[in-house]
Chains A and B, each alone.
Chain A
Amino acid sequence: MQQSILGSREAFGLLVVRYSRSVRAVCLARIGRRSDLDDLVQEAFLRAYQGLSRLEDVSRFGAYLHRIAHNLSVDCLRRPGLEAVAMEDVDLASPGEPTKALDVREERLEKLRRQVGRLPLALREAVLLFYFEQKSLGAIGALLGITEAAVNQRLHRARVQLRQILGEQEAS
């Protein structure tokens, strides 16, 4: 990290590799699977790079970067001319191809993506961070500014909700 503070592009590239998934999780949780998601993720890194010289404690780079990603996502939703997206219902499902026959498992995964997108933001964010990065609960807690127990609780609530919805749908 010190290397990229000193201006090494190579080292910054590695920071992108390291944090790309969690930044994407933060953006995805807020704006959903939109066409400008990639742009948003990249812009978060560009802004982080721009502010590196002002970052006093380099060990806080991760938190700093995720704050940028969070703010950009919120700005993105407020942008005029774009269709407003409800925070509590983002689109994580792939674009529908109604004519294409999906196998049972693929159908279940698609259903899961849709239901994760309908989880409350706090739960959705925890789920994405956990399943994208396989991060420890402590690491996710540090990123979200909550305790490990709270992360665990969010994941538990998310799983309960998903089980209920999927169970009901499958039963019906």
Chain B
Amino acid sequence: MSLDRDLRDALQPLAGDPVADAMAVLAKLPPLPPASPDGPVPPQVPRLRERRPRAPTGEGAPRPFWWWLVGAAALGLACGVALTIALGGNAAPTPSGPAKEDVPTPVAPDVKKPQPMPDEQLDLMLMAFGDLSVDEPGKGRQALKAGPYTVLPGTLFETGESLAGIYIYQNDLRVRLDRATAAIVEPELVTLVRGRMWWSNHARPAAIAVRTDFGDVQADAASVVLERREGSLWVACLEGELAVVPGAGSKLRLDAGQQVELRRAGPVTEVQEIPFAGSVTSWMTRMILLQQDDTELRYRIAEMRDAFLAGTHRDAAEQELRRLGSVIVPAMFALCDPLGADPELRRRTMALLADVADYSSVDKLLTLLEDGDAETRVQMFRALRRITGEAVGDEVMWREGTPEVRGAAVRDWRARFR
């Protein structure tokens, strides 16, 4: 038996989920201040713990002797350097020696470092959500780590275990590639070699085509999901309209909410309605969360919340809402009162809210501790205990306690967080 392989298999489950970590960290970051016209604003984060001063810092405090000694040495050093420069001597660079804690360098010479965003409008801006491989025209194959990059048009992307987002400034085209996908991306043509992709040029119409060995898909303004399946190509139009041009057969037109499958053996399937668009794009949820695009995130939450309320695809919508995590709490919390007429739906909503809540949702959970429904109160109590590691009262108290007792407990809990 191979010890290396066994070690990898044994330890990998402990490695955690980097994307889940990122989502949790982003949820805890404070909102950024508005952009300043004078330049970039450094991150403003409240200090977790104030650093204790190591020496007297008051204005009137006497300076210790060593302070004067260090000052004199610094002055002497500065004078020496100035004299050397004035005499025109080429001061030899000070050997700094190898840094003790260098940054982990790329694993191989062909690994590319993240680059700042480009001025070149023709370049593709890539957001790698993990390790992936690109084959760039004229530069060859490169292994990329998570991060933003610019790459040349015509690059082949192979996502492997990672997700990838690509943006083309020139025509405002957005492309997302799922795991295990390979595609060559150019500004007006994407060649899908394998896997699943989404593209949208709905915001700024421009002629785009996606080419596969089953045929082409063309659209001027649409949001589309394509998937290469075993022996077929599946096309789903989410917004706008598009044309499907099969390798053999006549051209088809798809409107928003319609899907079709082009098969290698046999005719193209009939155009059908997409039962629930949320399930078609669920693989993109993590990208939407990580990209922190407020507009898209809000739209996504609203879409899933509405589907959850409508009830036709409630289970699928709930699954998507759970995937979105704690960012849904404000939207779901706002439903508490309107849902009063449907106790069963309200209960399900509260259970969902309690499951996905995290530290950022504590205030809402505390409010719901005063809810009139005993089951809701108990759920919120459990959620708060899970999140904070503390408990005020117990389940019996939150279920059966008098309003006075519960009110005092809520005040106590609030005081702890203040």
Contact = CB atoms under 8 A, between A and B. Distances in A.
Contact of B28 (A42, A140, A159): A42
Given A138-B105, A163-B3, A42 B21 contact: yes
A18 B6 contact: no
A30 B13 CA distance: 17
A1 B147 contact: yes
A132 B102 contact: no
B24 A42 contact: yes
A128 B21 contact: no
In the complex, which of the residues B14, B104, B292 has the most CB atoms of chain A within 10 Å of its own CB atom?
Answer: B104
A121 interface: no
A116 B7 contact: yes
Which one of A38, A42, A53 has the greatest number of beta carbons of chain B within 10 Å? A42
Report whether over half of chain B's contact residues are helix, strand or loop; otherwise say mixed.
Answer: loop
A52 B107 contact: no
A157 to B, nearest CB: 13
Contacts, number: 180
A2 interface: yes
B25 interface: yes
Given A14-B22, A60-B101, A142-B105, A24 B15 contact: yes
B272 interface: no
Interface string B5-46: 011111110111011011111101100110000001111010
B101 A61 contact: no
Interface string B101-136: 111111110000010110000000001111000000
Contact of A142 (B9, B14, B104): B104
A33 B6 CA distance: 19
B52 interface: no
Q: Looking at A18, A38, A128, which has the most chain B CB atoms within 10 Å of its CB?
A: A18
A22 interface: yes
A13 B163 CA distance: 14
B25 A109 contact: no
Given A14-B290, A46-B29, A49-B29, A135 B107 contact: yes
A62 to B, nearest CB: 4
B32 A62 contact: no
Contact of B114 (A1, A5, A50): A1
Nearest to A92: B14
A10 B8 contact: no
A108 B65 CA distance: 63
Nearest to A22: B104
Nearest to A10: B292
Interface residues of B, number: 55
B291 interface: yes
A7 B32 contact: yes
Interface residues of A, number: 66
Contact of B104 (A15, A42, A143): A143
A139 B111 CA distance: 12
A17 B19 contact: yes
B100 interface: yes
Given A7-B42, A17-B129, A49-B43, A38 B24 contact: yes
B353 to A, nearest CB: 21
A18 B143 CA distance: 13
B25 A42 contact: yes
A21 interface: yes
Interface in A1-47: 1-7, 9-18, 20-22, 24-25, 28, 33, 38, 41-43, 45-47
A16 B101 contact: no
A53 B44 CA distance: 9
B148 interface: yes
B48 interface: yes
Given A7-B43, A113-B11, A138-B105, A17 B146 contact: yes
B47 interface: yes
Contacts of B377: none
A127 interface: yes
B14 A113 contact: yes
B14 A63 contact: no
Most buried by B among A10, A116, A127: A10
Given A15-B147, A50-B45, 6 more contacts: A6-B42, A7-B42, A49-B43, A116-B7, A131-B7, A142-B101
Interface of B: 1, 3, 6-12, 14-16, 18-19, 21-26, 28-29, 32-33, 40-43, 45, 47-48, 99-108, 114, 116-117, 127-130, 145-148, 290-292
21 contacts: A4-B43, A6-B41, A7-B41, A7-B42, A10-B127, A10-B290, A10-B292, A12-B26, A13-B23, A13-B26, A17-B130, A20-B21, A24-B16, A42-B25, A50-B43, A50-B48, A108-B6, A127-B11, A139-B105, A142-B103, A159-B3
